[in-house]
Amino acid sequence: MAIIRTQVGIVGAGPAGLMLAHLLHLQGIESVVLESHSRPYVESRVRAGVLEQGTVDMLRESGIGGRIEREGLQHHGVELRFGGEGHRIDFQDLVGKSITVYAQQEVVKDLIAARLRYDEPIFFEAEAMRVSDFESRPRIHYAQDGSENEIACDFLAGCDGFHGMCRPAVAAGQIKFYERQYPFAWLGILARVPPASDELIYTYHERGFSLMSMRSPEISRLYLQCAVDEDIANWPDERIWEELQMRMATHDGFALKDGPIFQKGITPMRSFVAEPMQFGKLFLLGDAAHIVPPTGAKGLNLAVADVRVITRGLVEFYKSGNREELERYTERCLRRVWRGQRFSWWMTSMLHRFPGEDGFSHHIHLAELGYVTSSRAASTSLAENYVGLPFDTPGLF
């Protein structure tokens, strides 16, 4: 059995684990990243698409922004569509910021490439089986190529997503969960067809929510609300296009063009927060600690915000032995996480049809959307949350 010593042991090579490893490297702090899947698998996993301006700035300032700048699609607003009409929320005019559409797996590719370029340890197909001693001298026990190995570290970063093993390793009495499940899911597709608009379109319709997003000038990313236990086999391509066309139709004849679908999947919707996010020397980051429904486009951005907070704490600790920032990790992260939760829950509630809704609820949805799109105060509130609230931790660079 091999034992590797490092300063920070990181479980998971998603956006949280990779970004943390990258920032630590820039600050001269050693880490080892373990990832249970293969490199091609994590580099092709289809997920998020919207990056807040603060997330893009952080990638750029840390030297990772080259490809985002060239290939990312900068958007200055979004459309909310309901009652057969579109209403634009102009981020630039309302809050002077924008968002960037750039696929999560591209961020993951950029961060893995950086890790390999500076020749720092990242092990794929290496599954953490157990974490131990995180109150004293943390250890990660992992399996790779049929053998069991160990990482001994000063700190342990649980960046292993919602279904990971770090959060369950905490004793039941030490952790509290807050949770909401939603009675619907999203069916998402990627299609080889130019996006029907230059900006995202979020649609509320009596048949349910839909969203038009994109990945490039040739590729559309679309979602539609479906039943929570939906079987993807019930959704042949023609039915998906027909449903999207009905939901997105406008009085002035908007036409959503169809095209070959090359990826399909169903995503459940959940709000979840674990508290605290630190247990001795074990820290939980990103989806391992909190999940939001994707309607607010916040999950990856919140993961990266956690990375920012913990990096400051670790830099402070290794520079001066001062643990103050590390001790405030949960408090600092959760303040932002709860704001992201509120915004994601609100967008989800406003834009989806809940089972059993009647005419009264329908008119409440329409009234709320009408208010949000006609009041400058309400539009500004949506815009400032969507583009990302300011960080309350001073910059890292």
Residues designated catalytic:
75, 202, 294, 298, 386
What sections of the chain are H helices per DSSP?
A: 15-26, 39-44, 53-61, 66-71, 91-95, 104-117, 237-248, 299-320, 324-327, 329-351, 359-374, 376-387
Query: With contacts defined by CB under 6 A, how many residues of the chain interact with ligand RFL?
Result: 35
CB within 8 Å of 367: residues ≥ 6 apart: none
Choosing from 21, 29, 128, 333, the residue that interacts with ligand RFL (CB under 6 A) is 128
The residues in 99-118 that bind ligand RFL, with binding defined as CB under 6 A, are 104
How many C-beta atoms surround the C-beta of residue 315 within 10 A? 18
Query: Residue 44 Cβ, how far from ligand RFL at the closest point, in Å?
Result: 12
Per-residue x/- marks for ligand PHB, 238-277, CB under 6 A? ----------------------------------------
Per-residue x/- marks for ligand RFL, 17-56, CB under 6 A? x----------------xxxx----x----xxxx------
Q: What angle do CA 206, 208, 209 make, to 5 degrees?
A: 125
Q: What angle do CA 13, 330, 387 make, to 5 degrees?
A: 70
Choosing from 13, 19, 34, 48, the residue that interacts with ligand PHB (CB under 6 A) is 48
Instruction: Please give the full DSSP string across 279-297, using - where no structure is assigned.
Output: ETTEEE-GGGTEE--GGG-
Query: Residue 215 Cβ, how far from ligand PHB at the closest point, in Å?
Result: 7
Choosing from 49, 86, 158, 313, the residue that interacts with ligand PHB (CB under 6 A) is 49
Question: Closest by alpha carbon to 393, among 335, 332, 334, 340?
Answer: 332
* Under 8 Å between Cβ of 303 and 287: yes
Cα(191)–Cα(152) distance, integer angstroms: 45
* Under 8 Å between Cβ of 183 and 268: no
- Please tell me whether residue 333 binds ligand RFL under the rule CB under 6 A: no
Query: Residue 286 Cβ, how far from ligand PHB at the closest point, in Å?
Result: 16
- Give whichever of 15 and 313 is closer to ligand RFL, judged by the CB atom: 15
Choosing from 160, 199, 243, 325, the residue that interacts with ligand RFL (CB under 6 A) is 160
155 forms beta bridges with 8
Q: Which residues bind ligand RFL (CB under 6 A)?
A: 11-17, 34-37, 42, 47-50, 104, 127-128, 159-161, 164-165, 188, 267, 286-287, 294, 297-301, 303
